[in-house]
Amino acid sequence: MDDVIDKIEVHDEEGDLSTDFVRAVKVATEAGDAEKLRGLTADLHEADYADLLELLRSDDRAQLVLLLDRDLNYGALPELDETVRDEIIEALPNETVAEAVVELESDDGAYLLENLDPAEKEDVLAKVPLGDRLAVERSLQYEEDTAGRLMRTELVAVPPFWNVGHAIDYMRTTDNLPDNFAEIFVVDPNFHLVGTIQASHILRTARATAIEELMDVEQTIFKVTDEQEDVAYKFEQYNLVSAAVVDESERLAGVITIDDIVDVIQEEVEEDIHRLGGVGDEELTDSVWRTARNRFTWLLVNLATAVMASLVISLFDATLEQMVALAILMPIVASMGGNAGTQTMTVAVRSLATRDLGAFNAFRVVSREALVGFFNGAIFAVIMGVVAYLWFGSEQLGIVIGVAMVVNMAIAAVSGILIPLTLDRLDIDPAIASTVFVTTVTDVVGFFAFLGLAAIWLL
């Protein structure tokens, strides 16, 4: 069996899990071959392990978890989408979940338990040793998507009156310190943060050197209530590797590390993309019902805006009856305006998220987008004017669609940035609502400009 397993390539040429490997795991799962499953998954990296679990169907995933039980790689659980994580936690016995909580860092342990019902959560925590339980319970008391939930409580803290030798001996002999850390925090008797020291500085400094001489008092500190988006921004802005988190009493509560922030940044980018598409926090592993429910709301809003655009068209029904060419060309004007508005809106929403766009440069950026919209509109106006003339043999029709193209694309570009800015000023997430408003503006303006000009000029 080991020879067969060795012949299976775990990764393909792109570095993803190979189809043969996933198929082998699926076959072993369906056959109930726990020994083969252990051999196949024993050396998997935690991230690959999580990918494997997400690639399997729900019934196969549950079977694999039950077969492996305590041989399951607990480190893969925090890497999972929420839907898959909750499914696996539900399938595991509470004793096994408790073992996973003990093995993981406090923030990851809290992630496993956050969606459990109170009774089951209490049962799991009752099986966790006191020290680990208190750390996880402390993380769970903070709101989701805050620094308090994101931080881990395992850290290295020393007093300022120690020297380097004391700190090194402490780190070598104390058992309950984190396995990996980049900073050592210096605290006063009340556990208030007074400075930090890079671990590398400790290793390169003589043992007799006082900690207070070595520590850096200038540091970036977060509060437990800070939003994770703000934390991620400062990590990126100041190239942080780790940072301290303090509680309401300004006492050192935990530490946030870059590996957690990378996940936050990816999560925020995905969230913005999903919201721009009107799909919320949807995941590939979500059920049909949940996916359909998430998409329904914004599809309903889009239907309402489409009806609004249709009402504008209905105002010019007599015009359309007299000139069929208008009905043929009308979608082109609206489509070009919609695409132009979406381009500007996408840049604006992302710039707001990264804080590159604000009150100080809003006017300059809006002016730039207006000029870009006018410039592109003029070019496409010439192109469509020529196409309309050659298609329908009407010079006036070519002029009408050209003017309408310039008007709609210029307004689309401006609305694509003004709408996200306005929503952001009103504390409404521009990633959620911008698409509907921009589409409505470009459709209504496009139809009104084209059909209105046609009614005035051609008929």
DSSP three-state, residue 354: coil
Beta bridge partners of 157: 185
- The confidence score (pLDDT) of residue 335 equals 86
The residue that leads in pLDDT, 322 or 166, is 166
Determine contact, residues 401/385, Cβ cutoff 8 Å.
yes
Q: What pLDDT score was predicted for residue 433?
A: 76
* Banded pLDDT at 282 (limits 50, 70, 90): low
Strand 221-223, strand 193-198: pairing = unpaired
pLDDT over 90 at 254, yes or no:
yes
| pLDDT tens digits along 23-61 | 999 999 999 988 999 989 888 999 899 989 988 988 888
Task: Tell me: pLDDT of 85 over 60.
Answer: yes
- Cα→Cα distances 77→188, 370, 418, Å: 36, 48, 42
What's the pLDDT band for 219 if we cut at 50, 70, 90? confident
Q: Is a pLDDT exceeding 60 seen at residue 120?
A: yes
Is it the case that residue 69 has pLDDT exceeding 90? no
What sign does the dihedral 292-296-298-303 (CA atoms) show?
positive
The two tokens of residue 343 are: 């381009």
pLDDT for position 457: 79
In sequence order, the β-bridge partners of residue 184 are 197
Q: Is the pTM of this model over 0.95?
A: no
Domains identified in the chain and CATH numbers = 2-144 (1.25.60.10), 157-258 (3.10.580.10), 288-457 (1.10.357.20)
**Residue 201: predicted pLDDT:** 92
HSE at residue 166, side-chain half, CA atoms within 13 A, is 13
Radius of gyration of the chain (CA): 29
* Distance separating alpha carbons of residues 400 and 393, to the nearest angstrom: 13
Residues 6 or more apart whose CB falls under 8 angstroms from that of 174 comprise none
Q: How far apart are CA 304 and CA 443, in angstroms?
A: 12
Q: What pLDDT was estimated at residue 204? A: 92
- Between 173-187, 276-290, 405-419, the lowest mean confidence (pLDDT) is in 276-290
What b/e string do you get for 138-148 counting C-beta neighbours within 10 Å, with b at 16 or more?
Answer: bbbebeeebbb
Provide, rounded to the nearest whole percent, the portion of the chain with pLDDT above 90: 37
Residue 12 binned pLDDT confidence (cut-offs 50, 70, 90): confident
Would you state the pLDDT for residue 285?
A: 63
What pLDDT is attached to residue 170?
93
Question: In this model, does residue 275 exceed pLDDT 80?
Answer: no
Question: What are the CA-CA distances from residue 414 to residues 327, 341, 355, 445, 448 (Å)?
Answer: 26, 8, 19, 12, 17
Is 329 exposed, middle or buried (CB count within 10 Å of its CB: 0-12, 13-18, 19+)?
A: buried
Dihedral angle over CA of 430, 434, 437, 441, nearest 10: 120
How far apart are alpha carbons 359 and 340 in whole angstroms?
23
Q: How far is CA 307 from CA 223, 314, 383, in A?
A: 47, 10, 30
pLDDT at 176: 80
Inform me whether the pLDDT recorded for 246 exceeds 90: yes
Amino acid present at 35: E
CA-nearest of 354, 336, 361 to 413 is 336
Q: Each residue of 292-342: pLDDT tens digit?
A: 777 777 677 777 877 887 888 888 877 777 778 888 888 888 888 888 888
| Residues ≥6 apart with Cβ < 8 Å to 376 | 340, 409, 413
Q: Is the pLDDT of residue 5 over 60?
A: no
Number of H helices, E strands in the chain: 22, 6
3-state DSSP assignment of residue 208: coil
Identify the residue whose tokens are 């006036």: 396
Chain segment 373-408, per-residue pLDDT in tens: 899 989 999 999 999 999 988 888 889 999 998 998
Cβ-contact 200, 118 below 8 angstroms = no
Residue 90 has pLDDT above 70, yes or no: yes
Instruction: Kindly provide the b/e burial profile for residues 210-222, where b requires at least 16 CB atoms within 10 angstroms of the residue's own CB.
Output: ebbebbeeebeeb
pLDDT for the residue 7: 67
Start-end of H helices in 104-186: 106-113, 118-126, 130-140, 147-150, 164-173
Amino acid, single-letter form, for residue 56: L
